[in-house]
Structure 1
Amino acid sequence: MPDVNSELSTDSKQKLVSDMKVVVSHAEELLRATAGVADEKMNDLRERIGQSLRDAKLRLADAEGALVDKTKAAARATDDFVHENPWRAVGVAAVVGLLLGAIISRR
């Protein structure tokens, strides 16, 4: 089975973390809204959902931390490359600029 982390872009991972935070927030709101219901099954369900939410928050924090770490590592690698190969970096930037200019001028 392929590694999901390697298949998702950084933007996709950020969007996923953001979406999961919204889901967790809505689930917490639902738990608060049903707090007055005294049914034993509902209490058990609220307890299980609460535990799942706590676990999800921990995993989200871990995923967000890993995402930040990977972003920082990519930035360091880019910085190192530019410092070690300044003319190559200028060349790459010039080519990208020319391509963008050509694309924009066609419109």
Structure 2
Amino acid sequence: MARTTAKNAQEILMADFQALVADTERLLEHTASLAGDQAEELRAQIKDSLLKARESLDETKETLQQRGQAAVVATEDYVQANPWQSVGIAAGVGFLIGLLATRR
């Protein structure tokens, strides 16, 4: 479930940035021909797109920070509850990494 939520957040973020890029390209194409109110309206749309993208990025950042903190807390709780198992797991992983590193 966490992967699905992270994937959805990433897709939303990518869509926001794609819209931002499209709006910016449109602004560049029209700046030469627009004047006055039309230019101001287009700039306002670009500014809104930038704000939405920034808000989406901030929300994603907060979500990832919360998940990371939850993972750290869960890991610390497990290690404190099962110290010898944790040492055994760490030794096993280190041994496997050592085997893989020497095969090259």
Q: Match for residue 65 of structure 1? A: 62
Percent identical pairs in the alignment equals 38
Count of matched residue positions in the alignment of Structure 1 and Structure 2: 87
Q: Match for residue 76 of structure 1? A: 73
The one of the two structures with greater contact order (alpha-carbon pairs below 8 A, sep at least 6) is: 1
**Corresponding residue SS for 2:84:** helix
**Corresponding residue SS for 1:38:** coil
Q: Which residue identity is paired with 1:42?
A: A
Aligned-residue CA RMSD in angstroms? 2.9
Task: Kindly provide the CA deviation profile for residues 22-46 of structure 1, in whole angstroms up to 9, marking residues without a partner as x.
Answer: x78xx5xx88xx6xx6343332111
Q: Match for residue 5 of structure 2? A: 5
**Corresponding residue SS for 2:35:** coil
Which stretches in structure 1 are left out of the alignment for 5+ residues? none
2:46 is equivalent to residue 46 of structure 1: no
Q: Which residue identity is paired with 1:74?
A: A
Among 76, 81, 85, the residue aligned to 2:82: 85
> TM-score, normalization: structure 1?
0.65
CA spacing shift, 1:7–1:50, aligned 2, 3 Å: closer
* Bigger-Rg structure (1/2): 2
Whole-angstrom CA distance in 1 between matches of 2:4 and 2:60: 12
Q: Match for residue 98 of structure 1? A: 95
Whole-angstrom CA distance in 2 between matches of 1:7 and 1:59: 14
Task: Kindly provide the CA deviation profile for residues 47-99 of structure 1, in whole angstroms up to 9, marking residues without a partner as x.
Answer: 11111211221121111011111101101100110000001101110110110
Whole-angstrom CA distance in 2 between matches of 1:52 and 1:69: 26
Q: Which residue identity is paired with 2:43?
A: R
